[in-house]
Amino acid sequence: MAFWFPLVVIIFALAICKFLLMLIPPNVPSIDVDASDVLDDGSQTKEDSYIYIPRRGKAVQLDRVQCYEPATMKYLGFFPALTSEEVKEHVAQARKAQQLWAKSSFKQRRQFLRILLKYIIDNQELICDPKTESQLEGKEQIIHERAVSEGWLNPWIGADSTAYSSCFWLLGDPLGAKEQMMPVDKAQNKRAGGLGTLLWFLLIGSSKFMKAIIDGESLQKLSSRDTGKTMVDASLGEIMTTCEKLTWLLAEGERWLKPEYRFLLEKQVKERVKRARNLSSGGLSRRSSGRSMLHKKSRVEFHPLGVIGAIVSWNYPFHNIFNPMLAAVFSGNGIVIKVSEHASWSGCFYFRIIQAALAAVGAPDNLVHVITGFAETGEALVSSVDKIIFVGSPGVGKMIMRSASETLIPVTLELGGKDAFIVCEDVDVPHVAQIAVRAALQSSGQNCAGAERFYVHRDVYSSFVAQVVKIVKSVSAGPPLSGKYDMGAICMQGHAERLQSLVNDALDKGAEIVGRGSFGNLGEDAVDQFFPPTVLVNVDHTMKLMQEETFGPIIPIMKFSSDEEAIMLANDSNFGLGCAVFSGNQHRAKEMASQIHCGVAAINDFASNYMCQSLPFGGVKHSGFGRFAGIEGLRACCLVKSVVEDRWWPYIKTKIPKPLQYPVAENCFEFQESLVEALYGLNIWDRLRALVNVLKIVTDHNTPASGVRRNQ
């Protein structure tokens, strides 16, 4: 007791000191970001707003990405569609910056995070503070003349700086436009690396970051305006997932990127694995160097690949930027991210905030880029980088694979899914029905991991359908920022028409609509951007609705009679991203999930896998391949290098055994044959006899030094 008591006191005192140090706020310098052109609150109407430009009757201009607010069809501005040459210039800049950043320490990256975090916390209201009418006074005539003369509200045409500033003051240019987005402009390029800042800054202070963005509304609001989703959907799908990833990287990221040593003896392996299992999250895998390498020390090193290219989808603009960026930059890479042409506005705004923090710490310029454009821009990016991460459709994913094969770069594809939601007869039906509706209607169903096929046991089929219909009929869709509606808009123009065609195909083949949600007060020009949540029964696999990715708020429910039938139905799909199995018997649910061919499975829950950021995320079949989350996703951004060196250098050096030295000795094959059996034989006595023979051959002084070739 006399020995242990002082030790316990010392440990307790150290813990108290560590806790008190955590209470001391870090000394973090402030940064200043010009927010004078932050977008208004969207309260303007069609009649009194010059920025309202309906899409109808307007031809697509291929040199620019036009941005609209899906829920109201208000015009948000535009961004340049970069050419191949401009994309390659961005990649070249990122590559130059990455060579410097690869030498940085994790300590430097964390300081970077602190600076950005401070800005986000201190400027939440400023980021989304709406414009007042008085700020717009006197600028209407300039804007109106430009819009009339050009047919578009084009803030980059002409050299009139007054017209330029006024247009983007009203339009709310999220990047400060001309200065920061024109790729040839030197002033812009100087601050082009901004997204990288967010990684290191957020990792250190992830708890403060989470508090800031959960308490505030700026990030959710931007995502809501750009994609049409509700603030709740933005918080669930964008903010929480990003915070979880940051938290995991803060706790585990550095550890998984350090060299991993492979130990020689099985006893050492078992001890290391046992210790690893006691660690909080994951554990360093320890494997033997092998019997033949008794005298060697081996390890795996994780080096940056160079410049990562990411082409991301529009459904989660905030998280889809941060997800690849966090892994790429934390592992020492540069990254160029092409945001979707359907959600460029908010993505570029997130980038602008981070640019200022990057410049403040003197990090390498141009480490991270966010670019805008169409297919040509994406194609140029694939041909220029060292790895490509793509989130999108299977059709485009195949095109990217073909393009990547020209340069043989690694590819990670996340191509959506057609996830099965299986409900057994021994569940709490009202409880599971609530989960099912959230799984189907999250972000208006525009969720790659959303549930799109519902298989319910015939014994609870009727009660489950009744519960789902009851919930869905209470759901209303409308403009998300009003705060009055449960569901927002459909982001992509024309997608609501596709959803209706899928429903019509099902109805023609015998399906029946048993419940629908309602619409709120929709604007005349935005009515086509909404689709009511819809429940269908009597569906089968001959219908397109059960085979094609829906990406909308549709709930088709099909009954099954046995576990085998449910598994067969779940596997009858070209997609294989995820599944969810609900049963009162945990073992039964696990057995069913293990037989479903997919990359992600949840037992008595839905999509919870993605909130466990130590887990890899990705699918099989037409859902793609590769993983971009967890340990596997982090290391996928690295050059994995195997290193072997002498364990006891300089005392024991590698030497070629005499029988194998050129020219080989007559007994060389006998030596090699005995060596193989001595190392890998299954019988201990045979191994010992072989070892004796090996030693005999090696010590045989009659073996000619010059070697004698064996006769035929």
- DSSP code per residue over 615-642: S----EETTEES--SHHHHHHTTEEEEE
Q: Tell me which residue of 369, 317, 352 sits closest to 168, measured CA to CA.
A: 352
| 419: phi then psi, degrees, rounded to nearest 5 | -65, 140
d(CA 562, CA 180): 60
Residue at 191: amino acid letter: R
- Residue 386's alpha-carbon distances to 83, 371, 376, in angstroms, are 19, 17, 18
The residue-averaged pLDDT of 313-337 equals 90
Q: Provide the token pair at 656.
A: 């070629």
Listed ranges 316-330, 569-583, 605-619; the one with the highest mean pLDDT: 569-583
d(CA 477, CA 5): 64
Q: How confident is the model at residue 504 (pLDDT cuts 50, 70, 90)?
A: very high
- Per-residue pLDDT reduced to its tens digit, 338-375: 999 998 988 887 887 667 666 776 778 899 899 999 99
d(CA 138, CA 469): 52
Listed ranges 102-106, 183-187, 248-252, 446-450; the one with the highest mean pLDDT: 446-450
d(CA 340, CA 329): 21
d(CA 63, CA 60): 9
The residue-averaged pLDDT of 185-193 equals 34
Task: Using the predicted structure, report yes or no on whether residue 48 has a pLDDT greater than 90.
Answer: no
The torsion angle over the Cα atoms of residues 17, 19, 23 and 24, rounded to 10 degrees, is 40
- Is the distance from CB of 343 to CB of 491 less than 8 angstroms? yes
Task: Using the predicted structure, report yes or no on whether residue 45 has a pLDDT greater than 70.
Answer: no
Looking at the chain, the whole-number percentage of residues with pLDDT higher than 90 is 43
Strands (E) across 272-418 are located at 296-304, 307-311, 334-338, 368-371, 387-391, 411-414
Quote the distance between the C-alpha of residue 267 and its chain's center. Answer: 38
The residue-averaged pLDDT of 591-613 equals 94
Q: Provide the token pair at 169.
A: 């003051």
Task: Using the predicted structure, report yes or no on whether residue 155 has a pLDDT greater than 70.
Answer: no
Task: Using the predicted structure, report yes or no on whether residue 153 has a pLDDT greater than 80.
Answer: no
List for the chain the helix, strand, coil content (%; round to 5): 45, 15, 40
- Per-residue pLDDT reduced to its tens digit, 651-666: 777 788 888 888 888 8
Question: What's the alpha-carbon Rg for the chain, to the nearest Å?
Answer: 30
Domain definitions of the chain by residue range: 64-254+305-411, 419-615, 658-698
pLDDT at 346: 84
* Local structure of 222: helix, strand or coil: helix
By the 10 Å C-beta count (0-12 exposed, 13-18 middle, 19+ buried), 662 is classed as: exposed
- Per-residue pLDDT reduced to its tens digit, 88-111: 999 999 999 999 989 888 877 766
- Is the distance from CB of 43 to CB of 129 less than 8 angstroms? no
- Is the distance from CB of 383 to CB of 403 less than 8 angstroms? yes
d(CA 572, CA 559): 15
Residues acting as catalytic residues: 414
Domain covering 64-254+305-411 assigned CATH 3.40.605.10 in the classification? yes
d(CA 227, CA 317): 8
Q: Containing H/E element for 129? A: none
By the 10 Å C-beta count (0-12 exposed, 13-18 middle, 19+ buried), 645 is classed as: exposed
Question: Which residues are 621's β-sheet partners?
Answer: 575
Task: Using the predicted structure, report yes or no on whether residue 118 has a pLDDT greater than 90.
Answer: no
Determine the CATH number of domain 419-615: 3.40.309.10
pLDDT at 196: 41
Q: Provide the token pair at 304.
A: 């940056």
Q: Tell me which residue of 413, 389, 252 sits closest to 324, measured CA to CA.
A: 389
d(CA 335, CA 330): 11
Please name the residue ranges forming H helices in 129-160: 133-136, 140-150
Which residues have CB under 8 Å from 102's CB, separation 6+? 303, 304, 332, 333
420-449 b/e with 16+ CB inside 10 Å = b? bbbbbeebebeebbebbbbbbbbbbbbbbb
pLDDT at 525: 64
- Is the distance from CB of 330 to CB of 355 less than 8 angstroms? no
d(CA 101, CA 95): 10
pLDDT at 552: 95
